[in-house]
Amino acid sequence: MSLGRDIKKTKPFDALEQEAMLNLARTLDVLAGEMVAEVFKPADLSPTQYNVLRILRGAGEPLACGEVADRMIAREPDMTRLLDRLEKRKLVARSRTKADRRVVSVRITDAGMKLLAELDPKVLAAHRRQLGHLGERDLKELIALLEKARERPSA
């Protein structure tokens, strides 16, 4: 009965997977590009820097560098200099931990919180303009599919 995919069925199906990947990349590029142009660039922040600030605000307490790295959306291979740039602008502050002197603790400063607070409404507005027309039903469906895409069965 179930013969699995034969040659004839495999080709168009593979094309579907490829099309999904292409659409994923294209969609993110469009949406992220607009977000950068409208919100991040005027604030002279990269998406990565914004991500760090969001993580630190969300944590509600200082985090180790590595802990921040683990929570990033995209893997960051050079947390040190990323934090250097934020620290230079006084948006975050670093300090060695007393307990474990290998660890550098990072916290968001008041200036960082203030910047995020200014950005919040712009980010929300941009998100709504970009995805608001999908409606709650489609958004939930999209989120579910994206999560499912990441959680593949074994490996």
Rule CB under 7 A: say whether 43 interacts with DNA. Answer: no
| CA gap 94, 29 in Å, rounded | 32
Rule CB under 8 A: say whether 146 interacts with its own copies. Answer: yes
| CA gap 66, 76 in Å, rounded | 10
Residue from 58, 80, 90, 121 binding DNA (CB under 7 A)? 80
Give me the 115-144 binding string for its own copies, x by CB under 8 A, dash otherwise.
--------xx--xxxxxxxx-x-xxxxxx-
Closest to DNA by CB, 22 vs 143, is 22
Burial 10-49 (b: 16+ CB within 10 A, else e): eeeeeeeeeeeeeeeeeeeeeeeeebeeebbeeeebeeeb
Length of the chain: 155
- Using CB under 7 A as the criterion, which residues of the chain lie in contact with DNA when the complex forms? 41, 46, 48, 64-67, 69, 76-83, 85, 94, 99-105
- Using CB under 8 A as the criterion, which residues of the chain lie in contact with its own copies when the complex forms? 13-14, 16-33, 35, 73-75, 123-124, 127-134, 136, 138-143, 145-150, 152-153
